[in-house]
Amino acid sequence: MTCPADGRAFFLLDLMALFHLVDFQTPYEYLGHQHPQKALHMCGIIGYIGQKNCVPIILEGLRRLEYRGYDSAGIALVSKDSLSVEKKAGKVSELAKHLGNGSSTLSGSLGMGHTRWATHGAPNDVNAHPDWDAQKKIAIIHNGIIENYLSIKTKLLREGHVFHTDTDTEVLAHLIQSMYERGNDLSTAVRLALSEVDGTYGLVVMSVHEPDKFIVARKGSPLLIGVGDGENYVASDASAIVSHTRHVVYLEDGEVAVVTKDNIETTTIDALKVHKTVEEVTLELSQIERGGYDHFMLKEINEQPETIRNAMRGRLLVDEGNVKLGGLQNMMGRLLSARRIVITACGTSWHAGLVGEYMLEQIAKIPTEVEYASEFRYRNPLMNIDDVVLLISQSGETADTLAALREAKGKGSTVLGIVNVVGSTIARESDGGVYIHAGPEIGVASTKAFTSQLTVLALITLMLARARGMSQEDGIVLAKEIASLPDKVQHILKNTDQIKAIAEKYKNAKNFLYLGRGANFPVALEGALKLKEISYIHAEGYPAAEMKHGPIALIDENMPVVVIVPRDGIYDKVISNIQEVKARKGRIIAIANEDDTEIANMAEHVIRIPRTYGFFGPILNIIPLQLLSYYMAVARGTNVDQPRNLAKSVTVE
């Protein structure tokens, strides 16, 4: 296997991420990867072909993929000319239990496993993947959505096919079977079937007809092949296989590969040969393990001093009062002539964008707007070629954010990304951007990615402010303040006992209100989101002054109200809002500065935070709110890292 620009670019990206030399790779190498975005699953894929018994390898891989969010899991093996499939609704542990927890008689050296997040058909045992064809000779696992599955199904029903699930994936299995029965070999049957499909897929097919291979294909949903010695792996995500091999081949959209234990042959869907390079994954195993913490979320909260430092390492030039961001260097002209910056994102990343709006407008004096990506993509926004659109995404794969990117690009705007996952689709399709270098974020509720996104937004702001005339003296003051943030976060993280006690006290509350003003209004939104996500307590974030237009009706002695009240220019205004809550007997939990001597008279609990420059305050103020939601969830016994109904990477519309 030799080859193309794609491969080299990936490798470079990883190296660059490792050494923090530059940010996004020049985008133009990636233009060939563009494809219309459709909705995708967020499911996980793992497969093994070689000499070993694949069952433990697949179960381990499925466990490593759990962080993606899923509602059922399954495994299929080809051995002794028969196909065995076992699948269960619920967690991978249910599947492992069903298989006899290690005492399984199931064994074979060609097999694959899947974690499914339901789209077509309820999350139950039957609809879980793998699916199979009418003869149960061909098995398939599939991330993505076959959009024209109904018309294909109607045609196959007419030909006499009988379906046993509600999934779009089963239809594809039957379509492959029908192509195979016309005298094609397995890989041709898969390619022909895919040429009839409208939709997205990362998929793996295996069959008792040709029991020495996988056929894998990708369009719009990531897929890679792990290269071993006399064995090969397939996965939707390197974390599933990195304990076995670091050598991988990334499949690109429109590619199909035949994977045997000793060989990988890649073609396009039209059977044109494609040369691929084997690349090295830099992900460390310890990075995707819990490292002694009870939950990934707690580990990730505690990593923040380091991850914030990583976000600024090699970029923040304190003595010069300036910032150097390699991935934006070629974009400076466009950024400086931009009429406005439009930030678009989803979830926590959108909250980071709202804080970014304050930073960019107030410090760099650039008009900035923030919009949910899911709204931006469909409202046909009026865009200009001198607009810069900034996409923020931890995963770099969120379907709505990616669609917003393509919408903006289609309208001629410059698109830039602030992304965590190196080489992800948003990173690759952006005109430039900045990696946040937070490392893998496994807990579904985003924590360290948020503070790293804010740090990068602060860096971009300082860089633009200086380029637009801010003095070096002022630049140095801001740069020093940014540099001091990791130590301040470390200091806040020591305060867990107080926060644990507060969580214990309010763990049975039915509702929570979070209030903040200015740049801390998005912190209120993010604090409320964290609580909702993992403790399932209803929580609302509000701009403190807006409370009197509605939420004040909810306040009584049972309502905990978290107020972010740093000693800034609007301190007195927030204090007035606190008085309004207090007058209605609300229970005030204040996030306040260490030197605030007045607040203790008004609040039932005061969580102390070191001072910083106002617009950087959110990076500190969110930390106790992350801890509060974490300890509330632990006190309530919920599944902290994999909250119900949520997924880490929402690659579905």
Q: Which region holds residue 31: left if phi is over 0, alpha if psi is between -120 and 50, else beta?
A: alpha
From candidates 65, 118, 140, 650, binder to ligand G6P by CB under 6 A: 650
Asked if residue 394 binds ligand G6P (CB under 6 A), the reply is yes
Point out which span in 166-174, 188-196, 342-350, 362-370 binds ligand G6P (CB under 6 A). Answer: 342-350
Compare residues 89 and 373 and give the one whose CB is closer to ligand G6P: 373
398 interacts with ligand G6P by CB under 6 A = yes
Question: 527 and 563 in contact (C-beta within 8 Å)?
Answer: no
| Stretch of residues binding ligand G6P (CB under 6 A), selected from 111-119, 512-520, 544-552, 642-650 | 642-650
Minimal distance, residue 456 CB to ligand G6P, in Å: 13
Choices 171-179, 298-306, 389-397, 461-469; region in contact with ligand G6P by CB under 6 A: 389-397
Q: Would you say 220 or 321 has its CB closer to ligand G6P?
A: 220
CB of 521 to ligand G6P, least distance (A): 18
Please state, in angstroms and rounded to a whole number, the distance separating the CA atoms of residues 81 and 46.
21
Site for ligand G6P contains 535 (CB under 6 A): no
| CA 595 – CA 608 distance, rounded (Å) | 9
Place of tokens 């689709």: 425
Euclidean distance between CA atoms 406 and 414, whole angstroms:
11
Nearest-approach distance from CB 581 to ligand G6P, in angstroms: 28
Selected from 393, 414, 612, 629, the binder of ligand G6P by CB under 6 A is: 393
**Interface residue with ligand G6P, options 348, 451, 612, 642 (CB under 6 A):** 348
Exactly one of 169, 177, 446, 461 binds ligand G6P (CB under 6 A); that residue is 446
Residues designated as active site = 43, 648
C-beta atoms surrounding 472 within 10 Å: 13
Please name which of 227, 246, 218 lies closest in space to residue 14, comparing C-alpha atoms: 246
The distance of Cα 189 from the centroid of its chain, to the nearest Å, equals 34
Q: How far from each other are the two terminal CA atoms of the chain, in whole angstroms?
A: 36
- The one segment of 4-12, 113-121, 214-222, 645-653 that binds ligand G6P by CB under 6 A: 645-653
CA atoms within 13 A on the CB side of 377: 19
Phi, psi of 490 (to 5 degrees): -55, -45
> Rounded to the nearest 5°, which phi and psi values hold at 71?
-130, 0
The stretch near ligand G6P (CB under 6 A) out of 207-215, 323-331, 347-355, 554-562 is 347-355
Nearer to ligand G6P, 84 or 349 (CB): 349
CB of 646 to ligand G6P, least distance (A): 5
The answer to the question of residue 401 lying near ligand G6P (CB under 6 A) is yes
Among 328, 649, 651, 652, binds ligand G6P (CB under 6 A): 649
Quick check: 414 binds ligand G6P (CB under 6 A)?
Answer: no
Comparing CB distances to ligand G6P, the nearer of 307 and 349 is 349
347, 356, 486, 551: residue in contact with ligand G6P (rule CB under 6 A): 347
Residue 447 interacts with ligand G6P (CB under 6 A): yes or no: no
> By the 8 A CB rule, do 346 and 444 touch?
no
Starting at the earlier edge strand, list the strands of the sheet with 72-79. Answer: 82-89, 72-79, 110-116, 44-49, 232-235, 224-227, 247-250, 279-280
Q: How many CA atoms lie within 13 A of 9 on its CB side?
A: 21
Phi, psi (degrees; rounded to nearest 5) at 74: -155, 165
Q: Which residues bind ligand G6P (CB under 6 A)?
A: 346-349, 393-395, 398, 401, 444, 446, 646, 648-650
